[in-house]
Chains A and B, each alone.
Chain A
Amino acid sequence: DTEVTQTPKHLVMGMTNKKSLKCEQHMGHRAMYWYKQKAKKPPELMFVYSYEKLSINESVPSRFSPECPNSSLLNLHLHALQPEDSALYLCASSQVPGQGAEQYFGPGTRLTVT
């Protein structure tokens, strides 16, 4: 199984809502990532989890809150988002964090904040 799954595929939420994005992989990968991708832009790293511990937070606003319940699951909790947060949110995983680790991306959640 070389798949990273993400739910939901699409999400529309108001600025006062609380929602969560979910990501799952069963490849035994020990590094998991959240990226944000705006239209016609490259993926922009948000968070890195290494062995279920948050290792990198790229100065992401606190309205985004990641969680790694176990080695297969990664969540991104959303609260009080702004319209400019509308984007494709990609989850990725790699075998180990570090040099040369190819990343497997999920299909993404397309988020619209109204």
Chain B
Amino acid sequence: SQQGEEDPQALSIQEGENATMNCSYKTSINNLQWYRQNSGRGLVHLILIRSNEREKHSGRLRVTLDTSKKSSSLLITASRAADTASYFCATVSGAGSYQLTFGKGTKLSVIP
């Protein structure tokens, strides 16, 4: 069953603007991860945030986690055309769990 649900399903912005994607989930988690997928390719891991963390940065990426609201957001600052891709959140629940449960993704288009 799907754990994470991304919002919006699709997002179109101009190059240089910031892009914000949200993810909501249903059960308690150990960590939450964001992945990027370029069209028709495999997924690439972007960032992992653990349940005891509230915010994490990596380059132009900023991820927040609010466990009380069971939600996370991914902010891409100063977007580039190369950021055009689908973005997925994935959750890991339960100690010893091997399973990542993915949402359906947000399709981001960055217009040059």
> Does B bind A?
no
